[in-house]
Every structure is written in C-alpha cells, then in structure tokens.
Chains A and B, each alone.
Chain A
Amino acid sequence: MAQPANQEAPGSGTRQSETLAPPAGHGEHEGFFKKYLFSTDHKAIAKQYLFTGMFMGLIGAFMAYTFRFQLAFPGSHVPGFGVVSPNEYNALVTNHGSIMVFWVAMPVLIAAFGNYLIPLMLGCDDMAFPRLNRLSYQVFFLSVVVLLISLFVPGGGFGGAWTAYPPLSSKAEYSLTPLGSTLWLVAVALEFVAFLIGGINFVTTTMNSRAPGMKLYDIPIVVWMIVIASLVFMASVGPLVAGAVMLLFDQLFGTAFYDPARGGDPLLWQHLFWFFGHPEVYVVLLPACGIVAEVITVFSRKKLFGYKTVLYTAIATGIVSFFVWAHHQFVAGIDPRMANVFTATTVIISLPVAEMVFVLVATLYGGSIKLTTPMLWALAFIAEFIIGGVTGLFLGASGSDIYLHDTYFVLAHFHYTFVPIAIIAVFAGLTYWFPKMFGRHMNETLGKIHFWGTIIPFNSIFIPLFLLGLAGQHRRIYSYEGFPELARPELQQLRIIATVSLIVMLCFQLVFLFNFVRSMFRGRIAERNPWKANTLEWVAASPPPHGNFETMPTVYRGPYEYSVPNRDEDYWPQNQPA
C-alpha cells in the first residue's frame, strides 16, 4: 500500500544498502553474553536450539535406558538410577515421550535447522524478526526449565503418558502428582508458544525476504518443508492450546471441562490432543524429508526427481494430515461409525508419503553416489522410514488396530518413524552442515563408526518390540511378571535383546559427541563449499559472519542443477550468472 508508513516496500532506497558489510554494532566486538546468550543472530539462536535439543536428547535417552533396563531385568538396581518404582516408571515413559517429541525433534528439526538454514538458503542476512526470534528461544528455554523442575517436585514427575488423557491428568487424586502434572502442562504450553512465534517468523521470512531473482520454485526443498511444517503446526496447535488452558483450569480451579461427573467429557481432550498430535507427526517428518532431499541430491550429483512433485506431495501430506486424527482413538470409545471414515483417510495418507519415498529413491537413479557420512545417514533414513511407514498401515486399518492398539507394535512402528526423523535425518543434517556451522570438517572414520554403531542396534532394538507387540504386550507396564502370557522366558529374551541393543546404541553416541566436540576445535578447516553444492548457504564464508554474505546474492536458477549436460563443473550454484 502506498502510504508513507510502509517505507519498507521495495523501491524506495538505494542499492548500496544491499551490499553493506554487517552493520556496525554487530559481529566480532560484542561481549560474550551479547554474542552467545542474547544474540539476535539467527545462527546463534539456531545453535542455542541445537545444543538445548541435544542436551534434552541426552536426558530422554537416559530415561529410555532406565526404563528399558527395568523391563529387561525387572526390579533390579538400574546402574545410575536405582530401583525403578511404578510411579517413577510412569514418569520416565511420560517424560521420555514428551521430551523426545517436544524438546528434541521440534527444536532440532524445525527451530535449529529452520533458523540456521532459512536466511542462509534464501540469501538474506537474518530472520525477518530477529528479536522475535530471540524471544522464541527464551520462551523455549523457560519451558525446558519448567519441565526439568517438574521432574523433581514432591510427588514426582507427571506420569499420565505424553497424551495426558483426563481425568487422570486433570485430577490430583487420580494421578497423585499434583505439582508434576501442572508443571508438565505449563511446560508444554510454553513450548507451543515458542514455536508459534518461531513459525510465524519462518513463514514470513520465506515469503518476503528471498534474494532477488529467487522464485517460489527456486527455494530449496528443505526450506519449503520447514515452512509447510510451521504452517501445519500453526493450524493444528491452536485447539490444543485452548484445550491445555481448559485442562490447567481443571487442575487448578476445579472446573469441569473434562470431568464426566459434572457434565464434562474426557473424550473432548482426546480429540483436541490428536487433532494436534497427528499433524505433529508430519510437522517433524517434512523437515526430515527436506534435509534428506538436500543431502541426497548433493552426494548423488543429481537433480531432485520432480521438484514440483515433492512440493505438492508435501502440501498434500500437510492437508490430509488434518483428516486422520481419530485413528488414535479407534478403540477409545468414539462412535464406531466414525472409525470407518478415519480408516479411509488414514490409509489414503499413504499415497503422498509413498510418493515422497518414491521420489527420493528415483533421485538416486543415474546418479554418481558418494557414500560420505551424511549420505549414509540420508540413505538410512529412507531404508528405515520405509519400514516405519508400511507398518503404519496395520494401525490405520481399524480392524487390525483393535488388536494392535496400545501394544508394542504401535511403539515399534512410531519409533521406526521417529528415530529416522529425529535422529537419523538430524545426523544427516548435522554432518552435512557441520562445515558451514563451525568452519571445520568432522572426522569421516569416526562418523562411519558412529553410523554403523547406531543403525545396527537401532534395528535390533525395535524388531524385537514388533514381535512383542504381535504377542499382545501392551504399553506402559513397568513389569510383565503379573501377566502369565507375557512373562514367558522367550518373550523376556526379546526384551533383553532390545535393552542390550539400546545400551550399545547409546554407547556409540559417545563416539559422536567426541567427534562433534573435537571437530569443532580441531577438525580440518573447511572451505566455503566443500561438498560442491548449489544452494546459497555455501556461498557465505564458513562459518558465516553476522550478516552472512559479503555481497547479497542474486539468484539465477533452481537449487538442484547438478550434472547439467555441456558444463565442465557438475554443479551450478544458484547465484552464479550464466
């Protein structure tokens, strides 16, 4: 609009401001606190999210180790924890789930990669709202603090599962963790606020702040994915924010929103939760697919197979994900006729997701595949995610879900999706962008040791759990000794295999941590574009300074022009004039 207030519209300034060096008052001369703790630089905020997410990942992993140990050797003393009591067990599984979804997958996949990559890949110097960005992290950090406090309050941490079904979660006399449940809920709500703020920032930046010449189809897929995920998150989390307020009031002020005795309805929460909960799966899946697409194209020197197809399937996945939520509630007491509708929509969502996998596989065709560490992770994502995806069909089909619902089959299924998403794809992204983030290379040998040490135990953790699920083992039970059908030794052996594999897998993470920290300071110095990639972040210095680019780039082509015929180089950066 042509009002004086809107000077920001382009066409009113001089071109010089595009090429200015980083504005004074930024960059090298800032104090430690300004630079690392209260920075508005998107890269610093991304690293804050990354390190917080990794820290929470360690806590979540420790919890997994503790309750897996209890399951394999019930009642024994867990090294590093002690004997696990039933309420501690419930708190451990609840917080393991919440932490891994809300405090690891979300901050690392969306916030860390989103913050780091969006401005760099779009060719701008920062997010559109740097201080809002900082606020987002601060709220997130607060949520971490509240969650960690909730684990140590009298009564113990919240133990009503990450789904927090009322009345168990709404009444202290049922849950027996009055403080734990309230603090857990507050932490989750704060986390939602943080990502709402962050999401608005991501979407606005991508829409408005692209480098000159960058059309919609020139945006790297990973940026698209993060934006679509932010939009899906934004549209699905609202009802749950309202629902969380209602649950909080039930806990604190004795309102009756979910209290059946006074006219409330516990099923309302389940709907509010899963209306968010299912799209949330795709909120983390899409960025993971995006990261994998970037890595695969670079290391097979191939153009992405059908850029528009990928984009449209991502959008379709995002939309269809809103229509499937009640498949989590097939046997939860919903009207059985509704289950038929939700079966149909759920099974249909396999179409866009399968298409995404097909496209990623087809991209490999005719390539020149170089099996570097990031590429190994990206390929492992596809291989493992296929298993996670197809096992979902058993659960989306209402008839078989009657048996498999709330068993270890479900658990194994979603770990076969979530681990590829939040662990494998993240490692692909981290090892791929590490040279850009820290200006140094990670050690390839250690990287490959870590890769195989993670992937092999990962499968031997969860394949036994599939079998246990088929044997009818239901979830969130701290000891199966009371169930004759499940206490049989051959099933106990499967539990022990899973637990031992988990411990092995966790030990190999030490290799990664060592490699990560060591490479940050001692690694081989990385040049600007060590992988010979096309996207704009590789145009900036490694690591990029505050302000990112010396000269703001102009974009001439799409991001995946690899091995273009009749060119000497097998890559063609987006900003290189023809």
Chain B
Amino acid sequence: MTGRYPTAASSYAGDIDGLILFIAALVFFWGILVEVVFFGFIFKFREKKGRKAEYVTGEEKRQKRWITIPHALVFVCDILIIVAAVRVWVDVKQTLPTPDATVRVISQQWAWTFVHPGPDGALDTADDITTVDELHLEVGKTYHYELESKDVVHSLSIPAFRLKQDAVPGRTIRGWFRPIREGTYDLQCAEICGIGHGLMPAIVKVESAAQHARWMDEAGRSALAAAPRPRAR
C-alpha cells in the first residue's frame, strides 16, 4: 500500500491487505457498474415532451432476468469473498503456529503492561521483564500473546501488524503474530475504555536479534534489581 498506510510489519499483514484489495476489486466493479447504469438511466430517460413512460411491471420472466442474472453473479462474488475471508481468518485468529516465545499483554485503565519472558523464554519465571506502554519484539520470531484486562473491555490494536483483539476482563485470549520488519510502531486501544481512552498509546519496538538481546540484558538487570515477583494465577 502507499505511504499513507501503515507499513506491513507482520507476516500476515500481506494476507489481510491482499484480502482487502480482492474485496475492493469486486466491490469497485459492482459499485461502478451499478452507478454507471443508474446515472445512464437518469440521463437517458429524463422527461421529454411528448414521450410517455413505458409500462413495465417487472413481473414477467423476461423482465426479471435483468435482476436475477446480476443477482446470481453477486452470489458468486459473495461466495468468493466468504472463502477468501475465512481462509485469512482461520490463519490469523483460529490457529496457532508453534511459538518462539510468549508475551503477556495486560490492559487496564489507562495503560498497557507487557510481560516479556526474558532470556529463558518462559513466562512466570524470575527473569520476566515487565514494561509499561512499550513492547519489545525480535524480528522474525513467532510470538504468542496472552491478552488480559484488569477492569473494562480494551482492545489491542497494532495497525502495522494488522492485528486487533479485544481484551475482556476475566478472560485470557490467545493469539499470535510474527514481526517481519524492524521499526517502531503504534499500539492503540481500539475499544472505548473511559475518560483516558485517548491517552492510552503505547509503542511496539521490533528489533534485530542483537538489539533485542542487548535490551533484554539491560532491562533484565534493572528488573532484577526491582525484583518483580512472578505473577500468580
């Protein structure tokens, strides 16, 4: 997509963009076709002196064809869209690839807490690194996320990843992403969550393996000093 749109920074961003383009192609075809016919009719059948309108009931089969054939074609397009949409959906939301690491995302009014697994790669151990409003990821790795909310419904949205998932209090919702492009991206809350809803921005930092290791090292030392206790469930 053009520069106006967020970078496609996750492995499935391309699939979702492709789906949007596919639907756009079908929709533009139909939309423009109907609009052209529509305006054509208005122009062609405008009031003229001495010409009386035709009497067409639209009940006869011959006339109905003008409706039923486009109707059948729309149906075919519908089926194509459903198939394409479900394929993307199953890949992004319904199945989990094997992860390299799992991060926990905890939303609350009005901040994001991210629990990174730390060097040992496992959550709920002493070397977990907890950050606020800043998520650190290594490029090319597959992450699972565990999304939780402490109070109201929030929504984890990373436009560059084409990822969106509501966080529902009381539930843990799992999903995945694989960042493929280094950079710093916006992370937003996309579900209204009270007065501070607009003040809940966070950033996602996708780093190279070396950068990520360096960050983990630094953060781990300061985290150990603060001695975070493993999160009890």
Contact = CB atoms under 8 A, between A and B. Distances in A.
Q: Verify that A and B bind, or say they do not.
A: yes
B42 A379 contact: yes
B168 A332 contact: yes
B85 interface: yes
B198 interface: yes
A397 B152 contact: no
B132 interface: no
Contacts of B45: 300, 364-369
B87 interface: yes
A485 B186 contact: yes
A175 B195 CA distance: 7
A476 interface: yes
A348 B71 CA distance: 11
Interface string B66-105: 1100110011001001101111111011100000000000
A333 B170 CA distance: 11
Interface residues of A, number: 99
Interface string B29-57: 01100110111011001111001111111
A361 interface: yes
Given A370-B47, A386-B35, A485 B162 contact: no
Contacts of B5: 470-472
Contacts of A470: 1, 4-5
Contact of A331 (B46, B51, B155): B155
Interface in A250-287: 260-261, 265-267
A468 to B, nearest CB: 9
A332 B149 CA distance: 13
A368 B152 contact: no
Contacts of B194: 90, 159-160, 168, 174-176
Contact of B170 (A261, A347, A357, A475): A261
A347 B27 contact: no
A565 B58 contact: no
B223 interface: no
Interface in A534-578: 562-565, 570
Contact of A483 (B1, B41, B173, B201): B201
Nearest to A389: B31
Given A333-B168, A397-B81, A479-B198, A403 B16 contact: yes
Interface in A427-456: none
Interface in A184-213: none
A394 interface: yes
Contacts of A306: 57-59, 63-64, 67
A174 B155 CA distance: 16
- Among A300, A348, A403, max chain B CB count under 10 A is at A403
B169 interface: yes
B153 interface: yes
B48 A368 contact: yes
B56 to A, nearest CB: 6
B184 to A, nearest CB: 8
Interface string B181-222: 000111011111111111101000000000000000000000
Contacts of A161: 192
> Which residue, of B1, B24, B88, B197, has the highest number of chain A Cβ atoms within 10 A?
B197
B171 to A, nearest CB: 6
A458 to B, nearest CB: 16
A271 B1 CA distance: 35
A277 B219 CA distance: 47
A367 B38 contact: no
B200 to A, nearest CB: 8
Given A347-B78, A351-B71, A386 B53 contact: no
A399 interface: yes
B155 to A, nearest CB: 6
Contact of B31 (A160, A387, A491): A387
A53 interface: no
A491 to B, nearest CB: 7
A355 B64 CA distance: 11
B198 A562 contact: no
B141 to A, nearest CB: 21
B51 A368 contact: yes
Nearest to B89: A398
A90 B35 CA distance: 37
A266 B149 CA distance: 12
B159 interface: yes
A406 B159 CA distance: 11
A467 B195 CA distance: 26
A383 B38 contact: yes
Contact of A471 (B4, B37, B56, B66): B4
B126 interface: no
A486 B152 CA distance: 25
Contacts of A337: 94
A382 interface: yes
B27 to A, nearest CB: 4
A225 B12 CA distance: 43
Contacts of A300: 45, 53
Contacts of A266: 153, 168-170
B131 interface: no
B76 to A, nearest CB: 11
A333 B173 contact: yes
Interface string A333-351: 1001101100110011011
A308 B60 CA distance: 11
Interface centre among A301, A332, A475, A564 (most CB of B within 10 A): A332
A7 interface: no
A379 B37 CA distance: 13
A305 interface: yes
A494 B190 CA distance: 20
Nearest to B6: A472
A484 interface: yes
A414 to B, nearest CB: 16
Contact of A368 (B47, B58, B151, B155): B47
Contact of A399 (B71, B89, B190): B89
Nearest to B164: A331
A340 B53 contact: no
B47 to A, nearest CB: 5
A331 B198 contact: no
B82 A343 contact: yes
Contacts of A87: 195
A391 B26 CA distance: 11
Given A303-B57, A477-B197, A482-B198, A267 B192 contact: no
A343 B38 contact: no
Contact of B166 (A265, A308, A332): A332
A358 interface: yes
Given A340-B86, A405-B190, 7 more contacts: A168-B193, A266-B170, A306-B64, A333-B168, A347-B81, A563-B55, A564-B55
16 contacts: A86-B198, A90-B192, A168-B192, A355-B71, A365-B45, A370-B47, A371-B46, A386-B38, A402-B16, A402-B93, A403-B164, A406-B164, A407-B190, A474-B157, A482-B199, A482-B201
Interface of B: 1, 4-6, 15-16, 19-20, 23-24, 26-27, 30-31, 34-35, 37-39, 41-42, 45-48, 51-59, 63-64, 66-67, 70-71, 74-75, 78, 81-82, 84-90, 92-94, 109, 151-153, 155, 157, 159-160, 162-171, 173, 184-186, 188-199, 201
